[in-house]
Amino acid sequence: MQYSQSGGHEKILAPDADDMAGHGLWRYCRRQSQVSPTNQSLGELSLILFTHRKAALGLILAVIALALVMIDTVFDLVLELLHMSFELIELSLDILIEYIFHTDLHDTQVIVFYLMWAIAGYPLYKLYQLLRSLPHRCVECMDNLARAWRQLKKQISAYWHGLSALGKAKWSMGFMTSVTCMIFWVLI
């Protein structure tokens, strides 16, 4: 059997025929079970994903399609997960405050309430800053879109002027044919 050392982990390259006979098969299967994705380095995992990219892309697209088809269920699931994580944080803070300060239930709840407001204050402040900068970013985005549109019009115009009369006729006929097909498809 051929072995290779990779990142401190022994990796099997190929089994030999004599390894597959008798106890060699058991040893081969045992070593194969020790090679798992968690034992592999990030480079090896990216290589596996690259070689199986169609399957990975299919899995990602299937999850996205499932999320779009069952949007109400996904939305409920996300809200439930957010609520459960909030409750987990609140319970953890309750236990921590009671243990550190030896307070009763009411005092602990008051401390945790204001502590959670303080924790939520920073993201709310960042959201406020984002919303204040949003009009400026929208104007900047619109300027970029207008600049890109003008550049595209220049490129198309230069391409059109560079075409011969036969090339212009081909483009015109292709455009008219596609418009006619679309009209027939809509009406029929």
Q: What is the pLDDT of residues 85-119, one digit of tens each?
A: 999 999 999 999 999 999 999 999 999 999 999 98
Q: Is residue 60 part of a domain?
A: no
Tell me if 171 is assigned to some domain. no
Q: What is the pTM of this model?
A: 0.41
pLDDT at 24: 52
Give dist(CA 91, CA 147) in Å, integer: 53
174, part of any domain: no
DSSP state of 37: G
Task: Assess if residue 160 is contained within a domain.
Answer: no
CB atoms within 10 A of CB 6: 14
d(CA 85, CA 31): 39
For the chain, the domain total comes to 2
**pLDDT given at position 25:** 47
In a domain, 185, yes or no: no
Residue 127 and residue 101 in one domain: yes
Asked if residue 157 belongs to a domain, the reply is no
Instruction: Write down the pLDDT at residue 91.
Output: 93
List the chain residues with pLDDT less than 50. 1-3, 10-15, 19-22, 25-26, 28-29, 33
Its domain, for residue 15, covers 2-54
Same domain, 88 and 139: yes
**DSSP code of residue 70:** T
Angle at 33 between CA 31 and CA 38, to 5 degrees: 110
